[in-house]
Amino acid sequence: MSYEFIIEDTLPATAVYPYKIQNSAAPETFFMSEDFVSAMMSILQIMDKLDTDDILDDHCFNKIWLRSELTPARAEEIYLYLENPQSIDLIPSKEEIDAFHQAQRDEDKLLAKESPKEGMIPVHKFATNDGWLVTVKECGWIAEIFSPELVGENQFVVSQIADLCKVSYETLEAMLVEWGKFNLFASKHGGYRVN
């Protein structure tokens, strides 16, 4: 499995990206393998920036949609209707559309929720690629941890994690520095989604 981290803001065509672009068709996206995500999370945890106590309920998304009183099938029909009104036969009521929009807002709020612990990022934001929003503030903290200076100063830690993740030290060091640059850029452009 791999992860895509996609800048939240719409960027102008003239945007200058300070990190190494991995795919010219998607310069606003940073790609990372599961091994590199594990390494990055390990370093965040060692640096006491990963909140592993703030665990979400397994059914947190289900609860949001249950409150809307829309069945999954009806929620999908409303979504399709909003995308293309001719796509379904049974036109949703205003109440159904309002309930759908409220559930979307509640879901977006959950996806962006920060840790109650100052300076920490909830572990769930990197544990799955479900569209979590890493906020501007969180991006700033991550950028600090993965600045070229701090990555260089922590050569021993990075080399140990490289061994654990079965990647070369040089490859991991380069990835982490680019990750820091990406996060610094994202901290000025609305954060990013984890997909």
Task: Check pLDDT > 80 for residue 54.
Answer: no
26-40 b/e with 16+ CB inside 10 Å = b? eebbbebeebbbebb
Average pLDDT on 34-43 reads 94
Which residue carries 């999908």 as its tokens? Answer: 76
Looking at residue 133, its pLDDT comes to 97
Task: Check pLDDT > 80 for residue 12.
Answer: yes
Which residue carries 């592993």 as its tokens? Answer: 52
First to last CA, the chain: 11
Task: Return the SS3 of 115.
Answer: coil
pTM greater than 0.85: yes
Average pLDDT on 186-193 reads 98
